[in-house]
Structure 1
Amino acid sequence: MHEHKRLGRGLELPELAEWLAVGDVGLEFLTGELHGHHDPGGIVFTVLAALSGMEREYIRDKTLDDQESARVRGKNIGGAAVTDPAMLSMAVHLRNQGQSLRDIAA
């Protein structure tokens, strides 16, 4: 693993620890504060699992807060809105012609 901060993103860490233990696989961080080899069933892994979960929640909450703040300021989150059936029909037609969603929204 390159860096411990990436370890838990998108993973269920207890399942990963079990999978690594069954395969008798160790954990090595190539950079960062935890540089070196670690036992995936040990205390370091447990602490990392907790910290990764907390970081994931923080990122999610921050993203949602920022999106709400943008909405309050009148920003459109999520791209162009479809306003009527003709607009939807044209967007589908352009997509079927191979145009990107970004080009269609513009």
Structure 2
Amino acid sequence: MLAEKLKASDVDLEFLAGEPRGSHDPAGVVFTVLAVMSGMKREYIRDRTLEGHESARKRDKTTGGADPDMLSMALHLRDQEMSC
């Protein structure tokens, strides 16, 4: 459990209602469920992002970085000493 890992690393975790008592305690169960849901949501977002990147690649769309026109303009502006 996250609270136990933090304590093992000498990190004090304090709640307004007191210290967490472990996963058998109702408050600990809620904390555990919220942590699991957060992890699941991160995985879902990552999976959807990777699917979007793959879909864009299949359609020859860029998913970041500069396309050739943007790169050409950036180099032109740099040559004109107009870069930041």
- Shorter-chain TM-score tier: 0.5 to 0.7
Which protein is bigger by CA-based radius of gyration? 2
Tell me the distance in 2 between the aligned counterparts of 1:60 and 1:46.
Answer: 21
How high is the sequence identity, in percent, across the aligned residues?
43
Number of equivalenced pairs: 75
Name the TM-score, length of structure 1 as normaliser: 0.47
Q: Write 1 or 2 for the structure with the bigger share of strand.
A: 1
CA shift at 1:27, angstroms?
6.3
Name the TM-score, length of structure 2 as normaliser: 0.57
| RMSD value, Cα | 4.2
Q: Which structure would you say has the larger RCO, counting Cα contacts within 8 Å and 6 or more residues apart?
A: 1
CA shift at 1:54, angstroms?
0.9
Q: Gapped runs of 5+ residues in structure 2?
A: 23-27
Q: 1:59 aligns with which of 41, 45, 64?
A: 45
Matches within 5 A, 1:31-70: 39=20, 41=22, 42-70=28-56
Q: Which runs of 4+ in 1 moved over 4 A?
A: none
Matches within 5 A, 1:1-106: 14=2, 18=6, 23=12, 25-26=14-15, 39=20, 41=22, 42-81=28-67, 90=75, 93=78, 97-98=83-84
Whether the 8 Å CA contact 2:53–2:63 is kept in 1: the answer is yes
